[in-house]
Amino acid sequence: MADVTQGLCPHCVNGSVLEGEPTGAMIDGAYFAAGTDASQSTKAVLLLTDIFGLPLKNSKILADVFAKEVGCDVWVPDMFDGRPPIPVSGLDAYLHDTPGQRMSLLTKLGFAWMVIQYLPALIRNRSSVIDARLHAFITKVKEEKKYERLGAVGYCFGGAAGIRLASKDMIDTVVIVHPGRCTISEIQAMKIPSAFACAEEDMSFGPDLRNKAEAAFAERKGKDNFIEYEFVDYKGTVHGFAARPNLTIPVIKESFEKVTTQIVQWFKKTL
């Protein structure tokens, strides 16, 4: 059951819709934002979405930003085969957008009922299924576009997928943004340059796991399996702040802008 729900928490279905409209295109079911720098034509970034998938336009808008700022093509694959576990209509404010809030009993019951309703969809999109879809997409896009290097940035549900993907020989660098449920063994298996963007309050990637994760990378220093890494903490934020930010809150707006810059700079350095 834990694998099925991917550590689904109230913040996973909380947040806001970004203003503006995507400027890219849908190609074979995936969203594509063309790069702006011809010298980056052999590189691409994959954006792995949160649990709302492509129907929530935030991931597409972010892909447009990265295509412009990093300069390479950006793809948002359909990890859910057209049927995301949670529809955009399920975006609800079970918790506030800042740390320290607690759910009432009534709100807890409402969230539990929501999980029960969407359980079949969560089962349909369990980790093994998601990973197989991503592997197929990466193989296809590499063959068709002749990319020599691929990076990935994963948010929430997609962050957990990005961690697992980083242990395979399919991408070259990764950014993990407030990931969904993951284990320390999955993190220890990562073998490519890895950046983490961490929320202050995160039921899926809490302080204990976050600290163990950084320690796992630090332990490799001076060893053959050392990889470049970084961990950045964003105070005053909760899980989901970088994917579905409430930009009316100054600390959220500032953190959203900073994490976006972190992602851009990481790919400029490691892709």
pLDDT at residue 98 tops 80: no
The pLDDT value recorded for residue 5 is 46
Q: Where are the domains of the chain?
A: 2-270
Number of residues assigned to the chain: 271
Least confident window among 114-123, 146-155, 167-176, 186-195: 114-123
The pLDDT value recorded for residue 81 is 95
The pLDDT value recorded for residue 1 is 41
CA distances to 3, 95, 195, 215 from 209, rounded to whole Å, are: 17, 22, 15, 10
- The three-class DSSP label of residue 81 is coil
pLDDT in tens, 127-154: 999 999 999 999 999 999 999 999 999 9
Confidence of residue 88 (pLDDT cuts 50, 70, 90): confident
Q: State how far the Cα of 256 lies from the Cα of 43, in Å rounded to an integer.
A: 25
Structure tokens at 87: 């529809």
Mean pLDDT, all residues of the chain: 90
Candidates 200, 196, 148, 197; CA nearest to 171 is 148
pLDDT at residue 4 tops 50: no
pLDDT at residue 240 tops 80: yes
Asked if 167 and 186 count as a contact pair (C-beta separation under 8 A), the reply is: yes
Is domain 2-270 annotated with CATH 3.40.190.10? no
The pLDDT value recorded for residue 104 is 65
The pLDDT value recorded for residue 269 is 98
Confidence of residue 101 (pLDDT cuts 50, 70, 90): confident
pLDDT at residue 253 tops 50: yes
Amino acid at 46: L
pLDDT at residue 2 tops 50: no
CA angle centred on 32, ends 142 and 81, rounded to 5°: 80
Confidence of residue 9 (pLDDT cuts 50, 70, 90): low
What is the pTM assigned to this prediction? Answer: 0.91
Give the burial string for 90-112 (b: 16+ CB within 10 Å, else e). ebeebbebbeeeeeeeeeeeebe
Q: State how far the Cα of 50 lies from the Cα of 88, in Å rounded to an integer.
A: 11
Q: Under 8 Å CB-to-CB from 123, ≥6 apart: which residues?
A: 4
Structure tokens at 24: 């890219």
Looking at the chain, the whole-number percentage of residues with pLDDT higher than 90 is 76
